[in-house]
Structure 1
Amino acid sequence: KFEFKCLRIICNYTMFGTRFLTDPKQVFQHNAWDNVEWTDEQEEAAKRKVSENNYPLPADMQEDYDIRAHEFWNEFYTIHDNRFFKDRHWLFTEFPELAPQCSLNHTSHQEENRSEIPDPKTCRDSGAEDSRDFPGSSASYRILEVGCGVGNTVFPILKTNNDPGLFVYCCDFSNVAVELVKSNPEYEPERCFAFVHDLSDAEASYPIPDGSLDVIVLIFVLSALHPDKMQASIRRLAGLLKPGGTILLRDYGRYDMAQLRFKKGRCLSENFYVRGDGTRVYFFTQDELHELFTKAGLEKVQNLVDRRLQVNRGKQLTMYRVWIQCKYKRNS
């Protein structure tokens, strides 16, 4: 039996949930438990499982998955449309930077009332209008989500943050996904600009000048890139930030349930896999992400592991999720 301990993580103004499992007998009382600490035995078992399946596919097959990546993601969104996803209601708890920007002290405000979203009437002006001519050039606060999918981050932001100075950009590798965003009745062209972009192509231009963004959001998207292309992609994104601008990331952590479920024949390289539908995924450590961001000239604000125990009460199954959440800032 695994030993269960509760681990409460507090860093700046973020805390991953408040439902802690203190009695293993109660595990099936809820659908999920927050911040579950793994035992040494559990960690070792996960390492063995990954090692057993660490037999990379031939180079020609790996190259084929790379060449056809656009095709696989288009097929993914064509099949699932917008029925596959749910809105991410945790966004403003974990990333208050996406809510109206206010002069309130984030630490005390978020700890006192994590569910409250600030009133935009109390918000400060986050900067003067930009004189350059581009979509959203007159905005005072600009957010870009890279890998937007069908808009399950973008639309909650637009609905929640009614700051008149806000402009939201969103892009995806898949043109099918971007068309789904644009066809959504909640898409507002006067407040949002959706476009197709390949994050892995560091030479591709963005419709936004360098030094113009306040926030860049990466939610389960960096892991879809080939590991060799990650550093250049992050460096390119860092150049889009204003001084003081921040990259927000949430992605798969090492030994997440999804990694442990991969069978032999799905490994592309160490900790990098291909799913049955042809899409790819990498599983990070905190140190790997820290190195990617700091080599791009960014400074750490937050780098945390979120270990969660999800429960299927009907089937009496437990599933261990491991995610990493990061915030890195450009200082100059």
Structure 2
Amino acid sequence: MDDTKRPTFGNRFLKDDAQVFLHNAWDNVEWTEEQESNARQITTAQAENSMPDEEQEKFLSEAPKFWDKFYEKHENKFFKDRHWLFTEFPELLLVKESKDNEELLCNDDTNDGELLSNNETTVGSFPGSDSKVKFMEIGCGVGNTIFPILKVNNENLFMYGCDYSQTAVDIVKNHKEFNPKSAFVFVHDISTEDEFPIPNESLDVVIMIFVLSALQFRKMGGAVKRIAKLLKPGGVILFRDYGRYDMAQLRFKHRRCISDNFYTRGDGTMVYFFTQGEVKEIFTSAGLMEEQNLVDRRLQVNRARQIKMYRVWVQAKYRK
């Protein structure tokens, strides 16, 4: 696993193993060589006992159906709004910079307050075309990112969302806070070459949170290239997804592995676990510039049951 240090996402550090169950979570947890070795052995065994080809086809060809069933089962009760996004990605908080509101400041420490591009597309009218700033979430689910972002920002922002589950999109549209004057959601499979209902170079920010991992690895590069075309010059993709050897990966049983580091869950949905290098290759091959690519290692604990859970995520930012 890449040992590159990441900036602090939290400020709770475990200095004494005897205090591990004092809090629910610890930040920047270093892995021992033994942990790394055990994780590699587990994933190697998973790959050696992978799912038979004839069973794989069902999950690969019917992915939208499994996600529909997932959202039909959980609806909007299973999820919590992602307010943590504003800590991890301060770009999502817009600050008024000028009296006439023609410019919006991107409140991001890593970019020294770089202004978002506000060049409007020359293409004809489309939902939100008159808005000063446009964000889009790929894999919007039931809106747990869309609605918190709209709440904290002003009328200059228009929010798009797409998901390849019709059920998820319907839940967003039926949400009591959904307003077509500030949001537009639609069904879209990013693994295909189907066109988006918005023109290229129209978006300031694209959000990809635990979504790219649902695709087969070989389809990820093409998907990101198509998404990158939607960004204005200067626009940014904000990415967070599962990292290699995350607890969720190590818990998979035999015959759940479809291919290296790609699995199907019990409900039929699929998930891939990334390395930093893979993320870098996917996004830079789409012509984007890397601004951040970090491993977020955390130790979560169940204090009542005295259980340790090692989580690994990759977080990144890539600018056009």
Report the TM-score when normalising by structure 1.
Answer: 0.88
Maintained 8 Å contact 1:212/1:240: yes
Q: What is the number of residues matched between the two proteins?
A: 307
| CA deviation after TM superposition for structure 1 residue 107, in Å | 2.2
Q: Which residue of 1 aligns with 2:253?
A: 263
2:71 is the alignment partner of 1:77: yes
AA matched with 2:32: T
AA matched with 1:252: Y
1:87-166 map, 5 Å: 87-101=81-95, 102-103=104-105, 106-107=108-109, 126-131=117-122, 132-162=124-154, 164-166=155-157
Q: Which of residues 167, 172, 176 in structure 2 aligns to 1:176?
A: 167
Could you report, residue by residue, the CA deviation over 1:104-162 in whole angstroms, capped at 9, with x for unpaired residues? 7732999xxxxxxx9xxxx9785254453011101111101010111111011011112
Label 1:135 to 1:105 Cα distance change in 2 as closer, same or farther (>3 A): closer
Label 1:176 to 1:16 Cα distance change in 2 as closer, same or farther (>3 A): same
CA distance in 1: counterparts of 2:116 and 2:265, whole angstroms: 44
AA matched with 1:82: N
**What runs of 5+ residues in structure 2 fail to find an aligned partner?**
96-103
Could you report, residue by residue, the CA deviation over 1:288-325 in whole angstroms, capped at 9, with x for unpaired residues? 01000011111100000000000101111010000000
2:3 is the alignment partner of 1:9: no
Q: Which of residues 298, 304, 307 in structure 1 aligns to 2:297?
A: 307
AA matched with 1:107: D
Q: Which residue of 1 aligns with 2:44?
A: 51
AA matched with 2:128: G
Report the TM-score when normalising by structure 2.
Answer: 0.91
Label 1:305 to 1:124 Cα distance change in 2 as closer, same or farther (>3 A): closer
Maintained 8 Å contact 2:116/2:204: no
Label 1:17 to 1:125 Cα distance change in 2 as closer, same or farther (>3 A): closer
**What runs of 5+ residues in structure 1 fail to find an aligned partner?**
1-6, 111-117
Label 1:294 to 1:320 Cα distance change in 2 as closer, same or farther (>3 A): same
Maintained 8 Å contact 1:130/1:138: no
Q: Which residue of 1 aligns with 2:266?
A: 276
Task: Determine which structure has greater relative contact order: mean sequence separation of CA pairs < 8 Å that are 6+ residues apart, divided by chain length.
Answer: 2
CA distance in 2: counterparts of 1:174 and 1:124, whole angstroms: 34
Q: Which residue of 1 aligns with 2:27?
A: 34
Query: More displaced, 83-92 or 316-325?
Result: 83-92
CA distance in 2: counterparts of 1:283 and 1:261, whole angstroms: 13
CA distance in 1: counterparts of 2:143 and 2:27, whole angstroms: 26
CA distance in 2: counterparts of 1:104 and 1:298, whole angstroms: 19
CA distance in 1: counterparts of 2:181 and 2:80, whole angstroms: 25
Label 1:104 to 1:199 Cα distance change in 2 as closer, same or farther (>3 A): closer
CA distance in 2: counterparts of 1:292 and 1:317, whole angstroms: 35
CA distance in 2: counterparts of 1:275 and 1:108, whole angstroms: 36
| CA deviation after TM superposition for structure 1 residue 188, in Å | 1.5
Maintained 8 Å contact 1:126/1:140: no
CA distance in 1: counterparts of 2:257 and 2:153, whole angstroms: 41
Label 1:161 to 1:28 Cα distance change in 2 as closer, same or farther (>3 A): same
AA matched with 1:181: V
CA distance in 1: counterparts of 2:169 and 2:91, whole angstroms: 24
Label 1:315 to 1:191 Cα distance change in 2 as closer, same or farther (>3 A): same
CA distance in 2: counterparts of 1:41 and 1:199, whole angstroms: 38
Query: More displaced, 26-35 or 299-308?
Result: 26-35
Partner secondary structure for residue 148 of structure 1: coil
Partner secondary structure for residue 37 of structure 1: coil
Q: Which residue of 2 aligns with 1:206?
A: 196
Could you report, residue by residue, the CA deviation over 1:273-295 in whole angstroms, capped at 9, with x for unpaired residues? 00111100000000001000011
CA distance in 1: counterparts of 2:111 and 2:318, whole angstroms: 21
AA matched with 1:319: M
CA distance in 2: counterparts of 1:255 and 1:197, whole angstroms: 30
